[in-house]
Amino acid sequence: MSNLNIDSIKNQTYDAIVIGSGISGGWAAKELTGKGLRTLVLERGREVKHVTNYPTTTKMPWEFEHRNQLKKEVVDANPVVSKCYAFYEGTEQFFVKDAEHPYVQEKPFDWIRGYQTGGKSLMWARQTQRWSDFDFEGPARDGFAVDWPIRYADIAPWYSYVEKFAGISGNKDGLASLPDGEFLTPHEMNCVEKYFSQQTAKNYKDRHIIMGRAAHLTNPKQIHYDQGRASCQNRTICERGCPYGGYFSSNSSTLPWAAKTGKMTLRPHSVVHSIIFDEKKNKATGVRVIDSNTKQMTEYYARIIFVNAAAINTNLVLLNSTSHRFPNGLGNDNDLLGKYVAFHNYRATINAEYEGFLDSTTDGRRPNSAYIPRFRNLVKQETDFLRGYASGFNAGRYQHEDRNGMGEDLKNNLLNPTYNNVWSVGSHMMGETIPKASNFVTLDKTLVDPWGIPQLRVNVDYDDNDVKMTKDFFEQLSEMYTKAGFKNIRTNDSNRTPGLDIHEMGGARMGKDPKTSMLNKWNALHNCKNVFVTDGASMTSTSTQNPSLTYMAMTARSADYAVKEMRKGNL
């Protein structure tokens, strides 16, 4: 019997375990296997294989039973996920339905999730900007929250490393606030977007309108062909899964790359219950996993563990990883785990019209937009709110189709659309929210989910800083629009619930001091140094940039460190 036990443990032992297969988990798998480690990747959802399991990716509108609209009963049963712009008949298979993984909203919070191989990397918006020292130094400069333990110089080489592999399109814009990267050919602005960029440069010294930077293969390099990927076809239905691999996802890129090494074991339907801590060894030794179908628990073992379950679920796993040494969650001596959760404020939009360039219109599709980098409170504090905001910008002159008539008359009407006599322009705000102890997640003491794990309680909300920032966005963008000659300017505060930005961060923040942070400069738990957190939970502040590129770079950097330390015998 004892030999059977030993064999069983041996078969469940790896060099490394990665929890989650999304953007950061995929990178952890690629880096660890690439360095020779036998790596177990645990995904709580089903397996989704690249191309094979994208059932709607080539469907035409008329092939959908409900013309790509959600049925009323689906919307009624899913008040949270149905708010997401990317959730529709062609994508509903990739989203977690409200009843599938319940949680408690102490304050309204729309938790958007994707439980399958690749996680939300299948449905993400693919915007990829680097952080700058303005972002990493933000907390130290204004004295709010804790100082980051790293600076731009620490992560810059890793940005370059992941950009080359993932494939990022963009311009070399030469902005200190938004460092340039290793770019493929950029997408192109249309004439009104270029006009607004020129007008902004003429009217302001510190404000810029640039082409967005996006994880799309505009002109693939050999490294991308080696991954089996091809050029983006500008179909703009990316959230259905791309059979060309034209945009970066774990499914098309990092996971297949890891699989080619022969070192990766991918185990779907694996809900991580908790991380096992050995008090004698003073380190983590493995994870407890519940099979999502059979509900059977199994333990797996490894020398290093990467937690990449996405920010909120990573907090849940760590909080549920209790022991005599850590009764409040793994590494949680300072009682900060689950606190200082933050997000991006997307609730403000501004729209207008422009009467110029009526001899031109747009043609085709573009999976990207123009971008306005942050310009508020960069060098010094200049407003009555902390930090700042970035914004998207797009312009279009849209067709109107006459659908009256029948037969040949209808056909002629559809083939000869008319165009608006003005251009429509618009921006959305992406504001940096301030991490606060009052924004937190914790475990419910009585309610459990379908796998017997405590449900998460979410207490996250806006504050006065967000209100002031939103007001400033309206004022500043209205001024910029007015100076550019845009008319009929309309502002809208949707008051959308936190979470719908899908950029939740924090709860296990990085920092220099174990008393005020959970992770060190290598993304390892201060009090359990062989456990690494490199997804959104690790973020000390949110900046204004889309966060996924930073997760990728941090993961590659941490994996490199972890393997070196393991080989030295330090982990």
Of 357, 297, 312, 254, the C-alpha closest to 30 is: 254
Query: Rounded to an integer, what distance in angstroms lies between the CA atom of residue 168 and that of residue 150?
Result: 23
C-alpha angle 328/555/123, rounded to 5°? 95
Mind listing the pLDDT tens digit for each residue in 307-355? 999 999 999 999 999 999 999 999 999 999 999 999 999 999 999 999 9
Query: Rounded to an integer, what distance in angstroms lies between the CA atom of residue 187 and that of residue 553?
Result: 23
Q: What is the DSSP string of 103-148?
A: -EESS--------BTTGGGGT---B-----HHHHTHHHHH--S---
pLDDT for 155 beyond 80: yes
Residue with tokens 């890891």: 258
Query: Rounded to an integer, what distance in angstroms lies between the CA atom of residue 43 and that of residue 296?
Result: 15
Q: Which amino acid is it at 558?
A: S
pTM for this model (two decimals):
0.96
Q: What is the DSSP string of 270-305?
A: EEEEEEEEETTTTEEEEEEEEETTT--EEEEE-SEE
| Beta strand pairing call for 454-459 and 440-448 | antiparallel
Q: Is 200 helix (H, G, I), strand (E, B) or coil?
A: helix
At 402 the pLDDT is: 74
Residues 73-89 have a mean pLDDT of: 97
Burial (CB < 10 A; 0-12, 13-18, 19+), residue 186, is: buried
Q: How many residues does the chain have?
A: 571
* Structure tokens that stand for 387 in this block: 């930090």
Residue with tokens 């774990």: 250
Mind listing the pLDDT tens digit for each residue in 274-311? 999 999 999 999 999 999 999 999 999 999 999 999 99
At 9 the pLDDT is: 82
Of 252, 249, 4, the C-alpha closest to 128 is: 249
Mind listing the pLDDT tens digit for each residue in 219-229? 999 999 999 99
Q: Which amino acid is it at 300?
A: Y
Phi, psi of 457 (to 5 degrees): -105, 130
Name the percent of the chain lying above pLDDT 70: 99
Domain-wise residue ranges, the chain: 180-212+345-432+462-497
- Under the banding of pLDDT at 50, 70 and 90, the label for residue 457 is very high
Cα–Cα distances (Å) from 121 to 126, 144, 248, 330, in that order, read: 8, 31, 8, 27
C-alpha angle 127/131/132, rounded to 5°? 145
* Structure tokens that stand for 66 in this block: 């409900």
Query: Rounded to an integer, what distance in angstroms lies between the CA atom of residue 391 and that of residue 498?
Result: 18
pLDDT for 556 beyond 60: yes
Cα–Cα distances (Å) from 105 to 91, 441, 456, 457, 494, in that order, read: 25, 10, 9, 6, 20
C-alpha angle 245/226/156, rounded to 5°? 80
At 491 the pLDDT is: 98
Of 559, 570, 540, the C-alpha closest to 150 is: 540
At 197 the pLDDT is: 98
Mind listing the pLDDT tens digit for each residue in 190-217? 999 999 999 999 999 999 999 999 999 9
| Beta strand pairing call for 423-432 and 344-345 | antiparallel
Query: Rounded to an integer, what distance in angstroms lies between the CA atom of residue 436 and that of residue 340?
Result: 5
Cα–Cα distances (Å) from 520 to 512, 525, 527, in that order, read: 6, 6, 10
Q: What is the DSSP string of 372-435?
A: E---SSSSS--SSSSS-EEEEEEEE--EE----S-THHHHHHHHS-EE-SSEEEEEEEEEEPPP
Residues 131-157 have a mean pLDDT of: 95
Query: Rounded to an integer, what distance in angstroms lies between the CA atom of residue 505 and that of residue 441?
Result: 11
At 3 the pLDDT is: 53
C-alpha angle 463/468/469, rounded to 5°? 95
pLDDT for 46 beyond 60: yes
- Under the banding of pLDDT at 50, 70 and 90, the label for residue 1 is very low
Q: Is residue 128 within 8 Å of residue 216, measured between CB atoms?
A: no
Q: Which long-range contacts (CB under 8 A, 24 or more apart) does 380-383 make?
A: 381/141, 381/142, 383/468, 383/472
